[in-house]
Amino acid sequence: MNRLLTKLILLLALSLVLLGGCGLLSSWESSSTAGDTTVVPLYDLCVYGEHALLWIEENDPEEYNGWLRQLTLYYQPPAEQEQAGAEQPDSQEVICGDQVNQGLCLYQLAAGSYTFATADQLISVDEDFIALEGYTLPRDGIRQHWTFSGQEGLLTLTIEEVSTLPAGYYDIFIDVGHGGTDTGAVSDGYVEAEENLRSASYMAKLLEQRGFKVTLSRDDMSIAGGMEAEDNPYLAGARVDSLYRSGASYLISNHLNSGGGSGFQIYTSVLADNTWAEAVAEQFVSLDWYADNSNSGLIGNGMYKRWTNDNHHTGRDYYFILRETGGYALAPYRYKVYNDEMKAQLRRGAEGILLEYLFLDNRSDMVFWDLHYRELVEAAVNSCCSYWQAGEY
């Protein structure tokens, strides 16, 4: 008797789930044929680091933050979980923030597939929508392979768990400042391009120990892309292009400063919040290293955001390595001039940070560097992992 009752309850629950699913599908199908307004076409989509931003209206060039703030996600668990009867929420409200690193957080989504709605309108895509895919960082050894595609006319995000990245894909791109004939700052026998290689190589080693797949813009004193790439980092094979092809979610640019200051400076995108920079600054200060607050664009102790000089409202970063590697979210404008065929890939970019550990032309800074550069790099890696909520064993 008890068993029969259980069966009946299960059957009732299953039919409710099925009815719910059909209801969603049929309301969309009937409304689209009736020309109703319950679907809204996606205008654009981009992923910055591990956060997705969705637009249903054309980007206003004056306001680069016109993405949707309120999203409803409809969730379908993977087929094998459905059979096992795993309980999963079928819809979820997500509020995105005003900064490019506050979009839909991809690594927080469970494996399965998702469709989207905003203000009760399902978000649709045309047949010519080009799928966009990537991978999140490993967390507890698992990466999420995310793919935005069009399925039955609706924007669909599928998340599947994988343990390794395909060949050619990386988690983190480490930019080693300068190289080739570009020495960067030179003073008292120190050459910035060499010191950057020293810090970046150590950084790569530490990140790999924490389970990340890492690539560097260079691993010796020459630069990828040769002489031409020194003048033009956007050419195929040069550092900006290498980043897009690496599929990396994050960029860390390693530099030493010059020009008469002392201490560290940290730069993040003008369109991102300050959380990442704060995490690094806090760790540097805990080593008794201190901030240099002498540059323009200061927004906190040792932390900076620098806009291009031309127009404050175009949402563009002054430093090309942040601006041009961030994908559409950061409004890059040089890279696509040279790599027209990479337009689709530009819908995703890396979230970046630029570290000026200290001043190469300051004698006492360099004494500190020789004694403590490893600790500075360790502090940077620790704070990155804590910001990413990844890589902590």
The 3-class SS string of 152-172 reads CCEEEEEEEEECCCCCCCCCE
Region for 2 from its dihedrals, namely left if φ exceeds 0, alpha if ψ lies in -120 to 50, beta otherwise = alpha
Give dist(CA 318, CA 307) in Å, integer.
5
Query: Residue 249: what residue type?
Result: S
> What DSSP state is assigned to residue 326?
S
Nearer to Zn ion, 218 or 255 (CB): 255
Q: Indicate whether 352 belongs to the interface with Zn ion (CB under 5 A).
A: no
Phi, psi of 149 (to 5 degrees): -145, 175
By beta-carbon proximity to Zn ion, the closer residue of 158 and 254 is 254
Residues in the chain: 393
CB of 176 to Zn ion, least distance (A): 10
Phi-psi region of 152 (alpha: psi -120 to 50; beta: other; left: phi over 0): left
Please name the amino acid found at residue 34: A
Binder to Zn ion among 51, 143, 245, 255 (CB under 5 A)?
A: 255
Cα–Cα distance measured from residue 352 to residue 334, given in angstroms and rounded to the nearest whole number: 17
- Output 104 or 229, the one with its CB closest to Zn ion: 229
Residue 239, both tokens: 């550092």
- Exposed (0-12), middle (13-18) or buried (19+): which is 327, by Cβ within 10 Å? buried
Q: How many CB atoms lie within 10 A of CB 288?
A: 9
Among the listed ranges 33-41, 85-93, 174-182, 284-292, the one in contact with Zn ion (CB under 5 A) is 174-182
Q: Which is nearer to Zn ion, 184 or 233 (CB)?
A: 184
Q: If binding is defined by CB under 5 A, does position 323 make contact with Zn ion?
A: no
Binding range to Zn ion, per CB under 5 A, among 133-141, 176-184, 213-221, 278-286: 176-184
Question: Residue 51 or 255: which CB sits closer to Zn ion?
Answer: 255
Question: Segment near Zn ion (CB under 5 A), from 64-72, 170-178, 261-269, 298-306?
Answer: 170-178
Check binding of 261 to Zn ion (CB under 5 A).
no
391 contacts Zn ion (rule: CB under 5 A): no
Q: Both tokens of residue 246?
A: 């690496």
Total residues in contact with Zn ion, by rule CB under 5 A = 3
Task: Kindly tell me which of 78 and 184 has the beta carbon lying closer to Zn ion.
Answer: 184
Indicate which single residue of 184, 261, 315, 391 sits in contact with Zn ion (rule: CB under 5 A). 184
| Between 222 and 275, CB nearer to Zn ion | 222
Q: How far apart are CA 3 and CA 185, in angstroms?
A: 78
Applying CB under 5 A, the span of 16-24, 103-111, 136-144, 173-181 interacting with Zn ion comes to: 173-181
Letter for the amino acid at 66? G
- Residue nearest Zn ion, Cβ-based: 255
Q: Smallest distance from the beta carbon of 365 to Zn ion, in angstroms?
A: 14
Distance CA 288, CA 285 (A): 5
Question: From the CB of 360, what's the least distance to Zn ion, in Å?
Answer: 9
If the CB atoms of residues 206 and 321 are measured against Zn ion, the closer one turns out to be 321
Q: Which stretch binds Zn ion (CB under 5 A): 121-129, 252-260, 297-305, 376-384?
A: 252-260
* Tokens found for residue 295: 């540059």
CB of 172 to Zn ion, least distance (A): 19
Question: Should residue 177 be labelled a site residue for Zn ion when binding is judged by CB under 5 A?
Answer: yes
Is-contact 147 133, C-beta < 8 A?
A: yes
Q: Name the residue nearer to Zn ion (CB basis): 156 or 253.
A: 253
Beta-carbon count within 10 A of 245 CB: 18
Helix, strand or coil for residue 328? helix
Task: Give the nearest distance from C-beta 183 to Zn ion in angstroms.
Answer: 10
Residue range at the interface with Zn ion (CB under 5 A); choices 139-147, 209-217, 253-261, 311-319: 253-261
Q: Which residues contribute to the site for Zn ion (CB under 5 A)?
A: 177, 184, 255
